[in-house]
C-alpha cells in the first residue's frame, strides 16, 4: 500500500460501521447480533427506580444506541428485535430482570428496535465518527425511543400526553444527556484508534 493511501483514515475508504472491521461474514453477523442483544440485556440490569413512575432509569438506552452505531442498521435492528422477542418470550433481561410485554414501559423496548435501525443507518454515513455528529445521531435515536415509549404509556395507563411526559420523559432527560455525551466520547475515540492502527 502506498504511503498516500495509508494516510487516509480507514473509515473514509467506504461507508463502514465498527462491526465491519471484524473478520467474517454470516457467522460473524450472527455472533454480533447475539452479542448485541446480550449486552443490551446485561446493561439494562443497571436500573434505578423513579418515584411515581413505572419507568426506571436504566443503562439500556446507552446500550441500544451504541450497539446500533457499532453494528449498523440491519444487524443493530436484528439485535434489538431479538432482545425484544426473547424478552417477550420469557428471557428475564428487561430492566430489573423483567420479561413479557404487559408492563407500562414496554413501548420503550419497541422503540429500541426502530431507534437501532435509524442510528445504525446514520452511523454508516459517518454519524458516529466525531463528537457533534454522534450527539445528533444519539439525540435522534433517543427521540424515537421516547415517541414509542410515551405512546405506549398513554395507551397502557390511559394518560394524556402531559401525564406521559411527567412520568415517562421529564425526569430522564438529564440522564439521557449524560449517556449521549458518553457515547459521543467513546465512539469517535474508537474510530480514532482504528485510524491510528491503519496508519502503522
Report the candidate in 81, 67, 79, 84 with the shortest Cα–Cα distance to residue 30.
79
What are the counts of helices (DSSP H) followed by strands (DSSP E) for the chain?
8, 2
pTM (two decimals): 0.88
pLDDT number for residue 197: 75
Q: Which CATH class is domain 8-191?
A: mainly alpha
pLDDT number for residue 26: 87
pLDDT number for residue 200: 62
Q: What is the pLDDT along the chain (200 residues), one digit of tens a residue?
A: 333 334 444 444 454 888 988 887 889 999 999 999 999 999 999 999 998 999 999 999 999 999 999 999 999 999 999 999 999 999 999 999 999 998 999 999 999 999 999 999 999 998 898 999 999 999 999 999 999 999 999 999 999 999 999 999 999 999 999 999 998 889 988 888 887 777 76
Cross-strand bridge partners of residue 57: 48
Dihedral angle over CA of 132, 73, 19, 197, nearest 10: -30
Domain ranges of the chain: 8-191
Helix pair 60-71, 131-157: axis angle to 10 deg: 130
Residue 188 near residue 128, CB atoms below 8 Å = yes
Amino acid at each position: 500500500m502506498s504511503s498516500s493511501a495509508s494516510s487516509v483514515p480507514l473509515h473514509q475508504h467506504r461507508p463502514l460501521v465498527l462491526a465491519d472491521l471484524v473478520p467474517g461474514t454470516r457467522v460473524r453477523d450472527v455472533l454480533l447480533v447475539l452479542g448485541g442483544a446480550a449486552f443490551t440485556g446485561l446493561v439494562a440490569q443497571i436500573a434505578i427506580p423513579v418515584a411515581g413512575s413505572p419507568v426506571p432509569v436504566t443503562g439500556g438506552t446507552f446500550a441500544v444506541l451504541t450497539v446500533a452505531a457499532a453494528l449498523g442498521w440491519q444487524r443493530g435492528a436484528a439485535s434489538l428485535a431479538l432482545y425484544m422477542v426473547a424478552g417477550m418470550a420469557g428471557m428475564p433481561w428487561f430492566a430489573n430482570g423483567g420479561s413479557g410485554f404487559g408492563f407500562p414501559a414496554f413501548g420503550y423496548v419497541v422503540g429500541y428496535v426502530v431507534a437501532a435501525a435509524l442510528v445504525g443507518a446514520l452511523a454508516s454515513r459517518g454519524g458516529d465518527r466525531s463528537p457533534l455528529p454522534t450527539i445528533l445521531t444519539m439525540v435522534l435515536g433517543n427521540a424515537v425511543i421516547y415517541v414509542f415509549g410515551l405512546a405506549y404509556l398513554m395507551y397502557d395507563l390511559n394518560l394524556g400526553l402531559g401525564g406521559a411526559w411527567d412520568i415517562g420523559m421529564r425526569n430522564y432527560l438529564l440522564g439521557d444527556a449524560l449517556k449521549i455525551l458518553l457515547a459521543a466520547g467513546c465512539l469517535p475515540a474508537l474510530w480514532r484508534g482504528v485510524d491510528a492502527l491503519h496508519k502503522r
